[in-house]
């Protein structure tokens, strides 16, 4: 029998108990033995809970109990999660977590500790919720060099952009609806709308595919606050969709690029059809070509079911899983990672002087005008070139309201 402890009995933690109770037989068959929850750590009062006898408010009995082979961490944040997880690994226990902040911030250290202690540190649920992504990436694509991952990894902002596109809502209106449905935080929604959540997730995926720690603070990150109904109007006319895209890819000249920003993409692309709270990640392997993983990126039971699958994997695979699921620690860079690739940009200006716009941008491939505004698609250029052209436009009295890269897949 596999005995586990759940740290944090919030949405995901209580989901783990529910999944284990509902699908006990299937989980036991696949794990090769029964999986039972022996402790639940939560400082809140659960004395009325049907499983009240499982609750403890201190991690020590869990760490000291040799019967507990695996600890599930679903507290979120890094404090006290980091201390608990580190202590559990040091005590020789597997850890399975849904905590992307923890993995993005301390993943390299915790992976190394897991290898040293010959246990597992697994985090399938940290990206894509219940959608399998981490495991397929390192295990099923084991015979590939992964050249690129990119996609929609934040359901809340995708829901908001879908409302803006389909229902004509403004950013503020879409945010209110998302908050009303519990998708976005009411007090401070910035983790979602400013791309912080997506930045943590792409830092994890980038670290995995490059094999070396990518620090969230080095990942250039822009959220969707800048997207207005004017952009939705113009991009729809241009048969483009606006999506918050997280990306990481190897660069032609060596090195890699990684970032989070709103991008435009042709409406006929599969990724453009990903709406509401769904996530989708496109992976390019050198042997495989393109594969895409699509599903709800959050939710209590989906996320919990991914954590439970990790518990099973930890029992079956043991520490050897880290031959493929691993990245080395590295010092943070100074400043942000830059992408020197050339891309087409969607540019919107509050002006109808198309002649100057064309000249300053060095030509455009498509232009549209509406209500004293102009939107164009540029020829391919680097970020640096775009910055220079923006300065030139400003000198000529034209303010760039929005500039969005075209996602090339």
Residue closest to 292 by CA, chosen among 310, 278, 311, 271:
271
Q: Which of residues 102-161 bind a second copy (CB under 8 A)?
A: 124, 130-132, 135-136, 138-145
407 is an interface residue for a second copy by CB under 8 A: no
Question: Out of 93, 201, 284, 390, which one is annotated catalytic?
Answer: 201
Q: Look up 3 and say whether it is catalytic.
A: no
The single residue among 69, 74, 305, 374 that binds a second copy, judged by CB under 8 A, is 305
212 counts as binding a second copy under rule CB under 8 A? no
Q: Which of 80, 220, 299, 341 binds a second copy (CB under 8 A)?
A: 299
Angle between helices 354-361 and 383-395 in degrees, nearest 10: 140
Between 219 and 241, whose beta carbon lies closer to a second copy? 241
- Mark 67-106 with x for binding to a second copy (rule: CB under 8 A) and - for no binding: ----------------------------------------
Query: Any idea what DSSP says for residue 194?
Result: T
Among 270, 365, 366, 379, binds a second copy (CB under 8 A): 270
Whole-number minimum distance, CB 178 to a second copy, in Å?
Answer: 19
What does the alpha-carbon distance between residue 309 and residue 136 come to, in Å, rounded to a whole number?
13
Tokens read off for 255: 């090195």
> Does residue number 302 form part of the binding site for a second copy (CB under 8 A)?
yes
The footprint of a second copy on this chain (CB under 8 A) covers a number of residues equal to 56
- Do you find a cis peptide bond into 287, omega within 30 degrees of 0? no
**Which string of DSSP letters, residue by residue, matches 129-171?**
TTS--HHIIIIITTTS-EEEEEEE--HHHHHHHHHHHHH---H
- Exactly one of 22, 51, 116, 387 binds a second copy (CB under 8 A); which one? 22
- H helices of 242-321, in order, are 300-317
Sites for a second copy among residues 306-325 (CB under 8 A): 306, 308-309, 312-313, 316-317, 320-321, 323-324
**How big is the chain by its Cα radius of gyration, in Å?**
23
Element containing residue 359 per DSSP (H, E): helix 354-361
Among 21, 60, 217, 290, binds a second copy (CB under 8 A): 290
Closest among 294, 283, 307, 138 to 211, alpha carbons compared: 138
Torsion of Cα atoms, 375 then 381 then 383 then 388, to 10°: -80
Binding site for a second copy (CB under 8 A): 19-20, 22-23, 26-27, 29-32, 124, 130-132, 135-136, 138-145, 268, 270, 273-274, 285-296, 299, 301-302, 304-306, 308-309, 312-313, 316-317, 320-321, 323-324
Residues with catalytic roles: 201
């Amino acid at each position: 029998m596999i005995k586990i402890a759940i740290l944090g009995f919030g949405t995901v933690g209580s989901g783990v108990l529910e999944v284990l109770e509902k699908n006990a037989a299937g989980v036991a068959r696949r794990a090769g033995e029964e999986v039972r929850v022996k402790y639940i750590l939560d400082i809140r009062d659960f004395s009325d809970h049907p499983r009240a006898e499982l609750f403890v408010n201190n991690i020590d009995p869990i760490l000291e109990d040799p019967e507990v082979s695996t600890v599930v961490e679903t507290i979120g944040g890094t404090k006290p999660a980091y201390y608990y997880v580190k202590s559990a690994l040091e005590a020789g226990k597997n850890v399975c977590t849904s905590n992307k902040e923890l993995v993005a911030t301390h993943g390299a250290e915790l992976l190394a500790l897991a290898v040293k202690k010959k246990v597992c540190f697994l985090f399938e649920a940290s990206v894509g919720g219940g959608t399998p992504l981490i495991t397929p990436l390192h295990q099923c694509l084991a015979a590939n060099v992964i050249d690129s991952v990119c996609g929609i990894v934040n359901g809340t902002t995708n829901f908001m952009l879908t409302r803006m596109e389909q229902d004509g809502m403004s950013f503020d209106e879409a945010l209110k609806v998302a908050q009303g449905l519990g998708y976005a935080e009411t007090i401070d929604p910035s983790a979602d709308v400013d791309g912080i959540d997506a930045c943590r997730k792409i830092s994890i995926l980038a670290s995995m595919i490059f094999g070396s720690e990518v620090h969230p603070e080095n990942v250039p990150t822009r959220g969707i606050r800048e997207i207005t109904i004017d952009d939705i109007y113009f991009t729809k006319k241009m048969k483009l969709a606006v999506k918050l895209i997280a990306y990481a890819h190897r660069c032609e000249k060596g090195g890699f690029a990684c970032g989070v920003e709103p991008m435009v993409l042709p409406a006929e692309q599969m990724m453009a059809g990903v709406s509401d709270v769904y996530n989708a990640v496109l992976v390019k392997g050198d042997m495989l070509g393109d594969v895409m993983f699509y599903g709800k990126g959050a939710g209590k039971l989906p996320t919990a079911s991914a954590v439970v699958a990790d518990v099973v994997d930890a029992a079956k695979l043991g520490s050897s899983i880290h031959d493929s699921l691993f990245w080395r620690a590295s010092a943070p860079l100074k400043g942000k990672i830059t992408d020197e690739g050339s891309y087409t940009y969607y540019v919107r200006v509050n002006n109808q002087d198309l002649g100057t716009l064309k000249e300053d941008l060095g030509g455009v491939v498509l232009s549209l005008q509406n209500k004293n505004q102009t939107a164009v698609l540029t020829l391919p250029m680097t970020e640096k070139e775009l910055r220079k052209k923006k300065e030139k436009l400003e000198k000529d009295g034209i303010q760039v309201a929005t500039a969005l890269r075209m996602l090339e897949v």
